[in-house]
Structure 1
């Protein structure tokens, strides 16, 4: 750092500010320091920085599964948001509730600054006390002593269902996500709210996968009263569309949730509710950084957007 300071004609403190992305450096000076760093091949030493700051520059991510679109997209979004802050990510996958305490202990032993608990993993981790000093942020959680981040699941589901009802659909059936999932519960709540207190059919429950959507779709296709389906995610909606096509039920409208990359290429193209995973990942990492700086726990709800296509 002293060599960089000498080459750039600045103080060591100015070099430190540039390295740590401090706004207290004018642009011309920053360019000069960065050029000197490049010429000298200087890179900050993470271990030395950790000893000086008490921060490792690494965060943990705890996930129950990566087989669902929501989990894999959230992991990607959190990793991207962390990279923008020059943070490394350590991933721990859970096999079940018995692993949660061990996962917390492992991350603590690895010296991570804090952890983001993703989606279904929050339900598994509920009630488990993390080691002292391990800051946490939960994605899709009813809340507690730590910060939470979520999409507006209920609002998006309500908007999707109202679209179908406003189009004159008589019976909007619901293919729900797994029992115990926060996101599934919230989406079911939005579906119910859109009926304004009117009776609703019992939801048909799936497991987020297309096969479970197909099984649900076969049952719904056999009911002539069903003329619309709101599926709790796009993968299950895909299975529903296949079942309806097999039954010759081209009169049934379908709306999904997530807006996966292939949704526009479903047959028919899928009307769905888009989650802003980039914003969710940014909010989760920002909340973790704020927690590490001593801020009180916050709850962040990221808006969703209804994407209209041919299916509904």
Structure 2
């Protein structure tokens, strides 16, 4: 590192910041240091650095399942965001006892962990792991943990308002599981928009995020002319179920989903949906965790424990062909 510093004309601390992916290095200096590293054939030795700094440059990712599209996309996005910051990623799955997952992460010497979605609810109910930095994706701001999440309620409200604007007298809701923060927030956004427009919400029909549960839910939504589905997979099954009833989408019933999975544009019909920015969500989570690990108070200010707005990632309605006038 001293040789790299001499070649680049900077301090050893600046080289360390570049190696560790710190944002507190201006681009020109970073480029000069990286060029010197290439010229000298310098590569950081992770184990040696861990002995010196007490950090392994490894973060954990805790999930309960990768079967859902949201979790698998977050895994990909988090891995890329961690690599960009110079951190390795270690994946662990949590059963009913999330504490076991935290113990496994401690055994591997990780510097901190990101907890995803369903595992977040387990974390809130468990004892907080001592000495392990945590960032939780999808949890209430009141949890006392550092939290980031998409604007689930806002996206749901926009989707519901769109269906009302198309002339539908009411909008039914195909909700996600009761133990999901994201599902609860999407239901809240749907309900609050209806109430703001003077519409009494219809009874909620609930699925489990799968397309099969959406298909089954069609039999409970025979009176609906418009449905907001809490995710795209359930919307896909719902569209099939309605077609089997002879109620084609969008001629007889309109459907809007949530997530904007890669296949949503190729549904039949192409699905109108609320887009989650999984990349931005993962970057926010990784940046917040790395800031905690490295003690960067400036960086941690953006994702606060008191529900600060900067910890909420915006969503956007993507209009396609599955929603039409009543």
Contact 1:157 1:190 in 2 (8 A): yes
Aligned-pair CA distance for 1:170: 2.2
Q: How many Å separate the matches in 2 of 1:153 and 1:8?
A: 46
Q: How many Å separate the matches in 2 of 1:186 and 1:45?
A: 44
Contact 1:230 1:255 in 2 (8 A): yes
| Correspondence for 1:101 | 99
Cα 1:4–1:166 change in 2 (3 A) is: closer
| Correspondence for 2:290 | 289
| Correspondence for 2:45 | 45
- Count of residues paired in the alignment: 306
Aligned-pair CA distance for 1:9: 6.7
SS at match of 1:195: helix
Q: How many Å separate the matches in 2 of 1:240 and 1:231?
A: 9
SS at match of 1:311: coil
TM-score by length of 1: 0.91
Aligned-pair CA distance for 1:145: 2.3
Cα 1:263–1:168 change in 2 (3 A) is: same
- For structure 1, list consecutive stretches of 5 or more residues without a partner in the other structure: none
Q: How many Å separate the matches in 2 of 1:242 and 1:36?
A: 59
Matched, 1:191 2:199: no
Q: More displaced, 294-303 or 240-249? A: 294-303
SS at match of 2:209: coil
Q: How many Å separate the matches in 2 of 1:92 and 1:140?
A: 18
| Correspondence for 2:201 | 200
Contact 1:170 1:226 in 2 (8 A): no
Cα 1:214–1:44 change in 2 (3 A) is: same
- After superposition, the C-alpha distances for 1:91-125 in whole angstroms (9 at most, x for unaligned) are 1012x222x11111111121111100000111122
Q: More displaced, 195-204 or 120-129? A: 195-204
TM-score by length of 2: 0.87
Q: What RMSD, in angstroms, separates the aligned Cα atoms of the two structures? A: 2.1
Aligned pair partner of 1:236 in 207, 227, 234: 234
Q: How many Å separate the matches in 1 of 2:105 and 2:76?
A: 19
Matched, 1:84 2:92: no
Cα 1:114–1:298 change in 2 (3 A) is: farther
| Correspondence for 1:209 | 210
Q: How many Å separate the matches in 2 of 1:43 and 1:297?
A: 36
Q: How many Å separate the matches in 1 of 2:258 and 2:191?
A: 16
